[in-house]
Amino acid sequence: MSQPDIACVKDYLLSLQDRICRELEILDGVKFVEDQWDREAGGGGRTRVLANGQIIEKGGVNFSHVFGDKLPASATAHRPELAGRNFQAMGVSLVIHPRNPFVPTSHANVRFFIAEKDGEAPVWWFGGGFDLTPYYGFDEDCIHWHKTAKAACDPFGTDIYPKFKTWCDEYFYLRHRGEPRGVGGLFFDDLNEPDFETSFALMSAIGDAYLEAYVPIVKKRHHLPYSDVERDFQLHRRGRYVEFNLVYDRGTLFGLQSGGRTESILMSLPPEVRWSYDWKPAHDTAEANLYERYLVPRNWAEETEND
């Protein structure tokens, strides 16, 4: 197995953050504000936040590179062989919360992890993916999102997309609610086969595909008129997003347990959200349609707009 090139991964991630921020700034017309930070235990990062934009109500695109001599409990719970190793973790993580309820929220993350110990081979892997959280469903958006995801994976094997798609459906699921967070996309972790070069190339292809998957949807939907009804439903569904990130998200748990920068870790939370007691959508409404047609696993990449 080829040896990991940490510097090459870092260069790619920094470039990815730059490219995504540049494209989103062109789309919105408002610039990200950058906050560079250092982590006392080792490492640091660049947090970039766009707030109160014309299209993006709140968005963050973060790069972090942290290291230390002891892994947090969230990293060793399922990998006890990592105990006692020093580590480096780096990645780009982003969440875009749009202003218009007809534009879905999107999330993407690509990351690299390596744990080393004198006299032993390093343990390393890539992880990440991207997923879409609509408030009002459009078949063509879901089809485009998943076909773009599939196209990024297919050069590495026709089994990759179905595997990562299923993994995403299972991961972004609120077990206490019994419902998915959105319409999924890709999720993968522990990727280190067949070698470093191939794993790095697959992670990069997925990172590069995010803008191609998301920007056309934003352009198509952000001008649609909406009322307080749609806005209220958006705020209600954002509550589910918050619940997932604080209860289940591995990146959030790792960041908080490893002494990461809290402001950057919780950047993913929306600026406004609402919890209504025992709320249920009215029958035969667009809100009910989201639950019935979109918050269920579907093979969107195999569908056409006329299905």
Residue 93 marked ligand-binding: yes
87: which 2 tokens? 């580590």
**Residue 109 marked in a binding site:** yes
65 belongs to an annotated ligand binding site: no
Other beta carbons less than 10 A from residue 21's beta carbon: 20
Residue 107 falls in the annotated catalytic set:
yes
- Sequence-separated (6 or more) residues with CB below 8 Å from residue 176: 243, 247
Q: Read off the amino acid at residue 67.
A: F
Q: Which of 65, 78, 107, 236 is catalytic?
A: 107
| Residue 110, marked binder | yes
Residue 251 among known ligand-binding residues: no
CA distances in angstroms from 192 to 2, 88, 124, 126, listed in the order given: 10, 16, 7, 7
Block residue for tokens 């993006």: 56
Q: Is 78 annotated as a binding residue?
A: no
The reply, when asked if residue 2 is annotated as ligand binding, is no
Q: Is 259 annotated among the ligand-binding residues?
A: yes
The beta-strand segments (E) located in the chain are 33-38, 43-51, 56-68, 86-98, 105-117, 120-133, 173-174, 179-180, 184-191
Active-site positions read: 107
Enumerate the known binding-site residues for substrate.
93, 109-111, 259-261
Enumerate the known binding-site residues for a divalent metal cation.
97, 107, 146, 176
Enumerate the known binding-site residues.
93, 97, 107, 109-111, 146, 176, 259-261
